Amino acid sequence: MIDKALYALPLALALVSTASSAKAPEDILDELAAKSKSAYLTQSPQNRMMMPDNPAYIVAEEGEALFKQKRGPKNASLEQCDFGKGPGVLKGAYVELPRYFPDTGRVMDLESRLVHCMRTLQGFTNDDPQIKQRHGNTDITKLMTFIAIQSNGMPWNPPTNHPLEKAYRDAGEVLFYRRSGTLDFNCATCHKQTGGRIRASYLPNVTIPEEWTKAISWPAYRTSQETVRSSQHRVLECLWQMRYPNIKSDSDVMLALISFWTDAARGQPAILPDLKR
């Protein structure tokens, strides 16, 4: 991780200069922490110090190369993929996801939309490693990191105009507060109180937008795992800790939860890429 960080600073400066926000992720975090006086936002000064050298910048650079590269059976790039703002438009697209896409008739988040474009534009199938391998140092992770940081500093603003967008958001809220599983937990067990902790770690409160925007700012580099993780991976990991059954990637349940948690951070600036424990 340290070796990667040595190469990250020049790349970080280059990406920040071309991203949608003039502010670096660490500056956005500092402003939120000063505003809210949150223990959650200030609990890891070591991680804050590492943010300018975030290894996620390297992952994003690799993602940019993949995004522009012609690949797959159709020998096409992803530059015509529409993430909601038109083919190839990335600036501000991520903070307005999940959203309804008429061409699929579904509400989709960044990961599911990216997979859709890899299938339709490039010709990959579900069995190809480019799509099948979702988590860790994968093509999907690299591409999502590159796409997401184009929305750094922009406010979360997922649309709710279409009936399905509102339905997914509302279903996600029900799932967030529904107690079930062998431990009779729900998401709110950990995320509906201020100053709550698991061992030494403070937990974000879904009702405090300044905290919640950091909580949902994925993709992010996890120092404890030495890799970049996605929103869907975070949901899977939370449910595993709650002893819930696993849910499928891109499923309605997955997208409903992500729709609700994004809506809960509405109006707050995204911290992309973030660096978490």
Interval 91-122: pLDDT, tens: 999 999 999 999 999 999 999 999 999 999 99
Residue 86 to residue 43: CA distance in whole angstroms: 39
Residue 183 to residue 178: CA distance in whole angstroms: 12
pLDDT at residue 189, rounded to an integer: 93
pLDDT at residue 22, rounded to an integer: 77
Residue 99 to residue 102: CA distance in whole angstroms: 10
Taking alpha carbons only, the member of 57, 50, 257 closest to residue 171 is 257
One DSSP character per residue, 140-176 reads HHHHHHHHHGGGTTPBP-----SHHHHHHHHHHHHHH
Do 190 and 196 meet the contact criterion of CB atoms below 8 Å apart? Answer: yes
Q: With bands split at pLDDT 50, 70 and 90, how would you rate the model's confidence at 17?
A: very low
Mean pLDDT of 147-176: 98
* Count of C-beta atoms within a 10 Å radius of residue 174: 10
Q: With bands split at pLDDT 50, 70 and 90, how would you rate the model's confidence at 13?
A: very low
* Span 2-16+23-276 CATH architecture: Orthogonal Bundle (1.10)
Mean pLDDT of 230-251: 93
Q: With bands split at pLDDT 50, 70 and 90, how would you rate the model's confidence at 224?
A: very high
Q: With bands split at pLDDT 50, 70 and 90, how would you rate the model's confidence at 19?
A: very low
117 flagged as catalytic: no
Strands 201-202 and 197-198: antiparallel
Taking alpha carbons only, the member of 168, 154, 163, 73 closest to residue 121 is 73
Q: For residue 246, what is the DSSP state?
A: P
Q: With bands split at pLDDT 50, 70 and 90, how would you rate the model's confidence at 143?
A: very high
Helices (H), the chain: 2-18, 25-36, 39-42, 45-50, 56-68, 110-120, 129-132, 139-148, 163-177, 188-191, 209-215, 231-241, 252-264
Report the first-to-last Cα separation within the chain, whole angstroms: 13
Q: Higher-confidence residue: 155 or 4?
A: 155
pLDDT at residue 2, rounded to an integer: 38
Domain ranges of the chain: 2-16+23-276
pLDDT value at 23 more than 50: yes
Query: Which one of the listed residues 117, 187, 190, 238 is annotated catalytic?
Result: 238
